[in-house]
């Protein structure tokens, strides 16, 4: 297993990695990139790199190539994986909250609405036994 190398998550390094892995004939402009998670010991798997590309078209092309590759992607002998962006267009994290109560499942994308539901239905239900629904 390859260890994490200092400078390997810079926008320039990520651009180079993408060009090499996907055999691109052009540079992919990476707006910003960084690793996530705590620093690991030498010999451990490298941390995940999050990258924001300048072009949505480049991102779509890379994801399409990653899916259609037919095998495991490799970079200098080490396996890599590419995943789509799970954030909203506004840059806010996109999160679905699922609440299950009395075998009724309800999904929320707004944490405040989820908490309101939990308070009304689970924590503080009406005394007459009826559930309060929005």
**pLDDT class of 20 with cuts at 50, 70, 90:** very high
> What is the domain partition of the chain in residue ranges?
11-80, 95-134
Residue 11: Cβ within 10 Å count: 18
Res. 130: pLDDT tops 80: no
8-27 average pLDDT score: 94
User: Which pLDDT does position 31 carry in this prediction?
Assistant: 93
How many CA atoms within 13 Å lie on the side-chain side of 30?
19
For residue 63, give Cα distances in angstroms to 56, 57, 131.
Answer: 11, 10, 44
């Amino acid at each position: 297993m390859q260890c994490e190398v200092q400078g390997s998550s810079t926008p320039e390094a990520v651009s180079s990695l993408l060009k090499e892995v996907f055999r691109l004939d052009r540079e992919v402009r990476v707006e910003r990139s960084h690793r996530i998670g705590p620093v690991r010991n030498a010999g451990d798997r490298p941390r995940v790199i999050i990258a924001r590309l300048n072009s949505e078209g480049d991102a779509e092309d890379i994801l399409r190539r990653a899916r259609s590759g037919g095998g495991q992607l490799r970079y200098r002998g080490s396996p890599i994986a590419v995943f789509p962006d799970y954030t909203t267009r506004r840059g806010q994290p996109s999160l679905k909250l699922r609440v299950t109560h009395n075998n009724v499942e309800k999904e929320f994308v707004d944490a405040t609405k989820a908490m309101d539901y939990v308070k009304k239905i689970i924590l503080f239900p009406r005394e007459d036994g009826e559930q309060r629904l929005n």
